[in-house]
Amino acid sequence: MNFMKKLGIILVLQLSTLTIISQNTDMKLNELNSEEKRVIISKGTEYAFSGIYDKFYEEGVYTCKQCDAPLYNSTSKFNSQCGWPSFDDEIDGAVKRIADADGRRTEIVCANCGGHLGHVFLNEGYTSKNTRHCVNSVSMNFVENQDKYKKALFASGCFWGTEYWMEKQEGVISVVSGYTGGTIDNPTYNLVSSGNTNHAETVEVTYNPDLISYNDLVKMFFETHDPTQQNKQGPDIGTQYRSAIFYLSDEQKEIAEKYKNILIDKGYNVVTEITKASKFYDAEDFHQNYYNNKGTMPTCHVYKAKF
């Protein structure tokens, strides 16, 4: 590739990053030091094994150093021993991929502000997702879940569909499919599917209460499934597919009951259980982010306004 053509491609890529930033002129950007500018603005790379998050595995969320947008959940972080923080999945819609000018690698940038994060590599076999986001520590901050974010637990039939709709809500940080409400420890999909564990297919929603309220999540829960169906949802039948809200506080219980009663007053025969939360167990990797990975939409979870 001749020099002028390569220079042109580089300029196009830089302009595309600037376009991401210009789409929101009111975006508040944090002040960066010289090293942060070298990596985030000038697309540099920090030295291997030098970043503060290389061997860091606390529970929480990694956010963009430049704009504070959530990027990665700690549950997606793994030890690749490459010298940089590695993640096998991003928070839905948080990261944009751009082909490098030489065509050899794929750059990843913050979808909100365009700040450089690192590169993404596929099919290396580190995890079942076969994806490695190789990210510069200097491009991120870390926020412990308990400092800012809250959790909610919802069951509305097959957790694939519940997950799909919750992930689409602005202010939702992450959604994990799993099992809760049953009588055995460490349940598997096969055990839960037998209908003998009393566990329900459930999603654990981590959300930013400054951007979305528990009230909004409860309304979305009721509006994306049929809460009048007893122990079933569409073609899925069994107690594992029951409609249920597992509350984590008295406030959540009160809010859940309020919206259930609103629907009852509207004439809906709501059978949704409102139960105190017990331990939540993550489902197998195959079930996580199912419809986004598949590129399709759920058929038994369709949005219908009810409030």
Catalytic site positions: 134, 158
Q: What is the DSSP letter of 228?
A: T
Phi-psi region of 216 (alpha: psi -120 to 50; beta: other; left: phi over 0): alpha
Measured over the CA atoms of residue 184, residue 190, residue 194 and residue 198, the dihedral's sign is: positive
Q: How far is CA 6 from the centre of its chain?
A: 36
What are the DSSP calls for 95-143, one per residue?
Answer: EEEEE-TTSS-EEEEETTT--EEEEEEES--SSTT-EEEEE-GGGEEEE
* Contact indicator for 225, 233 with CB cutoff of 8 Å: yes
* Contact indicator for 248, 207 with CB cutoff of 8 Å: no
Q: Which of 62, 60, 112 is nearest to 86 (CA)?
A: 62
What is d(CA 102, CA 1) in angstroms, rounded to the nearest whole number?
9
What is d(CA 36, CA 39) in angstroms, rounded to the nearest whole number?
5
What is d(CA 258, CA 221) in angstroms, rounded to the nearest whole number?
13
Q: How far is CA 54 from the centre of its chain?
A: 21
Q: How many helices (H) and strands (E) does the chain have?
A: 8, 17
What is d(CA 224, CA 222) in angstroms, rounded to the nearest whole number?
6
What is d(CA 73, CA 77) in angstroms, rounded to the nearest whole number?
7
* Contact indicator for 229, 158 with CB cutoff of 8 Å: no
